[in-house]
Structures are given as structure tokens and as C-alpha cells.
Amino acid sequence: MSSPPPLVVDQVWKTYRSEAEELAVLRGTSLRLGAGESAAVTGASGSGKSTLLNLIGGLDQVDSGSILVGGVDVATLPERALAAFRRRLGLVFQFHHLLRDFTASENVQLPLLIGGAHRHAAGTRAAELIAAVGLTPHASRYPHQLSGGERQRVAIARALAAHPEVVLADEPTGNLDERNAGEVGDMLFGLAEQRGVTLLVVTHDRSLAARAQLHLHLEHGQLHVAGERSPP
């Protein structure tokens, strides 16, 4: 029996309501990504890109439709199970969200330790990923001792630490200059491809979006194909 696809978004609707108005952000949005596939979503500010990631990550609830991650319907999970589920996802944000009092290595180890890993195993895994993002000489440095690009590399290593099936990245290069954005983009897509991780990136950067196998544009609450390339 074949494994379920890592990510299936099926006819998802999401509306935000206030006293003044109702804003339908997602209107029957659908997406399906297989193991090791990558997709990038572009769209105007306020089009619902981050909302889509929040729904997939279980940070918000759909109004209707379903989101399956590894065959698990995110909307049906109780809060305790949802917290454990989120640890199975890799998350990369525009602002790295590294803990300032932890070294680069310790930041990468953290998801593993929270998940119950032995400290030695967590340290070994962190060392391997720190090396993969080219920061072995900086493993003992704190975030304030790293450049913006280096901090984002650590964030990528942390996202991959717990062997996630799916990595979600929200504007991962949005706070970087052109050179660092290019390097971080190379690192993110390269490591995801090497490790067979399904990757969904939300970005305003069309050059970053072009690196994905599937480029989607979110408009009027629905995803439209903007470009495709053959898988590596």
C-alpha cells in the first residue's frame, strides 16, 4: 500500500469576519504535493499566502475543506495532538526567530530535545545540519554574532532537524539583501531536494519562486499555475 501524499489541500475556504465586513481570503483553494516536490506561492500582500501556511501548520482553522499532512487531517486534531503534530513540520520564517541565549547548535537541537531525543543524538544531528549549511566554524556562536544570512541558514537547519516530511517557509529571504537571499534560496531548495523533503514556500521574490518545481499565484482566493519546471 502506497504512502499518502505529504500535503493535500482540498477545497479550503477561509473567511475572516468583523463587525464591518466579511473577507473571504481563500475560496476553494486546492494543492497537492508529493514526496520531495517543491512549490512556491506568490501573490499580492493580503492575498492569503500566510493564511494558507497558517492553516497547513495548524495555527488556524479552515471554515470548510480539508488539509492532510502525511494523511493526517489537521482540522480534526485536538489541541494536545496538534502541538505534537506541529513538531513534525519544518518551519522557516522571514525573521529567523532564533533564541538569542542559545548558540547556533543549541537552536538546531531544540526541536529534537523538545521531542524527547537524547542530548547526544540531538548534538550529533545538529552538527550534521550545521555542516550542511556551511556554518561549522560558527556552531558555538550566538545569533547576535551571526549575519542575517547566517542566522537564516541556522533557521533552515533547525527546520530540518526533526526529519520533517514537509517544510513550510514564509518569506524566507524577505529580510535579506540580494546576495544573501540567493545563497539562502540555494540552501533551502538544495537541502530539500537532497533530503527528499516536500517544500512549500510563500514569497514575493519571483526569482526565489522560479527555483520551485511548481510556481503558483494566489489571486481572488484561488491558486493558479504561474510556472513549472521538471523535477531534478
- Is there a contact between 155 and 96 (Cβ–Cβ < 8 Å)? yes
Instruction: Summarize pLDDT for 103-155 with one digit per residue, the tens.
Output: 999 999 998 998 888 999 999 999 999 999 889 999 999 999 998 889 988 99
**Phi, psi angle pair for 162, to nearest 5°:** -90, 25
CATH numbers and ranges of domains, the chain: 7-50+77-228 (3.40.50.300)
Alpha-carbon dihedral angle through residues 97, 101, 103, 104, given to the nearest 10 degrees? 0
* pLDDT tens-place string over residues 47-84: 888 899 989 988 888 999 999 998 888 888 888 888 77
Which strands, in side-by-side order, build the sheet including 214-219? 89-92, 166-170, 198-202, 38-42, 214-219, 222-228
Q: The C-alpha cell of 131 is what?
A: 555542516
What DSSP assignment string belongs to 135-176? Answer: -GGGTT--GGGS-HHHHHHHHHHHHHTT--SEEEEESTTTTS
pTM of this structure: 0.88
Residue 230 has pLDDT above 60, yes or no: no
pLDDT band at residue 31 using 50, 70 and 90 as cut-offs: very high
pLDDT class for 1, splitting at 50, 70, 90? low
pLDDT value for 41: 94
Do residues 185 and 192 lie in contact, with contact meaning Cβ atoms separated by under 8 Å?
no
CA nearest 202: which of 65, 31, 35, 64? Answer: 31
